[in-house]
Chain A
Amino acid sequence: MAIQSPSLDMTAGAAVAATPASAAHGYWQSVRRRLRRDPVTVGCAALLFVIVAAAVAAPWLGLADPYKTSMLYRLKPVGTPRFLLGTDELGRDMLARLVYGGRLSLFMGVTPVVCALAVGATLGIAAGFLGGRVNMLIMRLMDVFYAFPSVLLAISLSGALGAGAENTLLALTLVFIPPICRVSESVTTQVRGFDFVDAAKASGAGTLTIVRVHVLGNVLGPILVYATSLISVAIILAAGLSFLGLGVKPPEPEWGLMLNTLRQAIYVNPLLAALPGVMIFVTSICFNLMSDGLRAAMDVKA
């Protein structure tokens, strides 16, 4: 989807925070202060908190059973007594399914980015800091994955691996490793060129120490900002895979899968059929706006 590599290089270009590693504490404090003053970010964070909290606490919210089908109450419209948001094609309560659906949908969107962040950032920082052959090897490997449009890669991988949540997670992680690796590599390469790295080397610090003390503090910010901007892409992509029948299997409640099964109902009850997508849309907008806020607060240029 919207993974754009030219902007990656730009992210990296502006990424190097001027803050020296020793002052990192003050830097993070000011980031937090700036975030708190941004009403849009705070609003999105609050909304996301509600969605996540509801998904996590779903069993204790007194909702209907999201798996319980009923032949009598199929495709009831929004506002039916007992079924606040109506029922789906098998008579299951939509409200319960939308709330429970957040569990899988959010999990499937966030987990791949976190895993890819761990792998991609490690590879990218190693490539950027060590340079030479290692860089060449890692980055050429990434080029291979870059030769695929991201959606195509995700779909082909999960198509070959077969449907199922684990395979989707694996496929999405593989899709997000290369872009994160690229950003990490170019940010690290830049930091490596600074005098304080040379100074540390001259004073006899080992590679690991330099990376831990001098590099990480300066590169993690931009990498993190970039990774957060991928979450909304990941959520949409994960939902898309389930929508195609390549992700979560029925009868699990998941927004993408619900969109798929409710598609047949667009002639009967169109509003109902659109509901799961609204959830995906809202979550994705919130993550995007939060990522923008974080970028501004951390002073990382787009």
Chain B
Amino acid sequence: MLLYALRRLLYLVPVAFGVSLLVFALVHLAPGDAISAIVPPDAPQEVVDKLRTYYGFDKPLPVQYFRWMLVTLGGDFGTSIGTGRPVFEEVGGAFLNTIVLAIAACIVAFSLAVVLGTAAAYARSRAVDRIVTSIALIGVSVPHFWLAIVLVIVFSVELGWLPPMGLGPENVAGWRLDLDHLRYMILPTVALSMIPLGVMTRTVRSTVKEILNMEFVTALQAKGMNDGRILLHVLKNAAPTCLAVMGLQAGNLIGGSILIETVFSWPGTGFLLNSAIFRRDLPVLQGATLVLAFFFMMLNLTVDVIQTMVDPRIKRG
């Protein structure tokens, strides 16, 4: 098991190298370089050149890449061109806020999906199945940023029950676990959980249904095992497939929360990324993308390893 995990980790090295190349390329895809974005258009050429030398943009690209990578590996993500603060600090703080929201959305989406999906697979009446598949369809089809706006319209503007935006009442300090902060979390969590809810409900439903048709279930029924314990067997068999999809969905939540964070002004990585794009703050864009991509890679790896642990039938080696 440990060996397998290590091998997978080793395999990530070339992928990580490719990812870093791609993230590095992001900056150079940009029209004009990072310097022309921050200096006024009438800045004298020598100032521009000085800045270019200062940030190392005058070196050939491969040199720039290796310099950037070495520094980044050391944990230094550079300085935000917009705010002058270290990128690592900016991204780190935002990342925590994103994680909080993502975890909440995961809990809501996955627990609901397991219940709904299993119910639909078990349901004898077509009505239950229809309702659940419709919920799943809505989940995968709804533009979640629009849903976010609709939620704000209904619960903040019309009813006035919940705050329309922000992280918490004072908006200065970071996130804390208390009633006030939870109130601010409700709407973003609901909006964010829609897509994973839809995808997971579909997955759980089809996986459980498939397993229910297997012979071992009939055998257990024939032996007279009660339904509750059979359900346990079924869920155990459905777990590996569902876990794999859950992992991906969780990763997508963290990368995909940018739209929701923008609607709710939630100060997470998505919000940071968005403002970095508009300030043309390329170091922050680079840093945030890199952190998120690496997190996503590690999450996939973890899910893969857990999957092998849960399912002894998967022999990888």
Contact = CB atoms under 8 A, between A and B. Distances in A.
Interface in A140-188: 140-141, 143-145, 147-153, 155-157, 159-162
A289 B158 contact: no
A96 B271 CA distance: 32
Interface string B259-291: 100110000000001101110001001000100
A162 B256 CA distance: 19
- Residue from A3, A7, A152, A245 having most chain B Cβ neighbours under 10 A: A152
Interface stretch (A46-54, A197-205, A277-285): A277-285
Please report whether the interface of chain B is mostly helix, strand, loop or mixed according to DSSP.
helix
A159 B245 contact: no
Given A141-B18, A149-B292, A156-B289, A274 B150 contact: yes
A2 B145 CA distance: 14
A276 B146 CA distance: 9
Nearest to B257: A151
Contacts of B22: 144-145, 148
A240 interface: yes
B117 interface: no
A162 B248 CA distance: 28
A152 B292 contact: yes
A63 interface: no
Given A149-B255, A160-B26, A270-B157, 16 more contacts: A2-B252, A6-B245, A7-B245, A144-B18, A147-B19, A150-B255, A153-B255, A159-B26, A159-B276, A160-B282, A161-B30, A162-B30, A236-B143, A274-B153, A281-B142, A302-B206
A246 interface: yes
Contacts of B249: 4
Interface string B13-51: 011101101110011011100000000000000000000
Nearest to B14: A140
A246 B150 CA distance: 22
A159 B256 contact: no
Interface string B291-302: 011001100100
B282 to A, nearest CB: 8
B262 A274 contact: no
B258 A244 contact: yes
A215 interface: no
B203 interface: yes
A259 B278 contact: no
Nearest to A6: B244
16 contacts: A2-B252, A7-B203, A7-B245, A141-B18, A147-B15, A152-B292, A156-B273, A161-B31, A162-B31, A243-B259, A244-B259, A259-B149, A274-B146, A277-B146, A281-B142, A302-B206
Interface string A111-150: 0000000000000000000000000000011011101111
B96 to A, nearest CB: 17
B109 to A, nearest CB: 12
A240 B30 CA distance: 21
B168 to A, nearest CB: 22
Interface in B137-152: 137-138, 140-147, 149-150, 152
Contacts of A84: none
Q: Give the bracket for the number of chain B residues in contact with chain A.
A: 35 or more
A5 B248 contact: yes
B204 interface: no
A55 interface: no
Interface in A277-301: 277, 280-281, 284-285, 288-289
A273 interface: yes
B188 interface: no
A285 B141 CA distance: 5
A228 B251 CA distance: 23
Interface in B232-256: 241, 244-245, 248-249, 251-252, 254-256
Contacts of B293: 147-149, 152
A266 B150 CA distance: 9
A148 B153 contact: no
- Residue from A1, A144, A147, A161 having most chain B Cβ neighbours under 10 A: A147
Contacts of A194: none
Contacts of A162: 30-31
Nearest to B298: A147
Contacts of A285: 137-138, 141
B273 A281 contact: no
B81 interface: no
Contacts of A276: 146
B199 interface: yes
Nearest to A171: B29
Contact of B29 (A145, A157, A267): A157
A259 B146 contact: yes
Nearest to B242: A6
Contact of A2 (B198, B241, B263): B198
Nearest to A280: B143
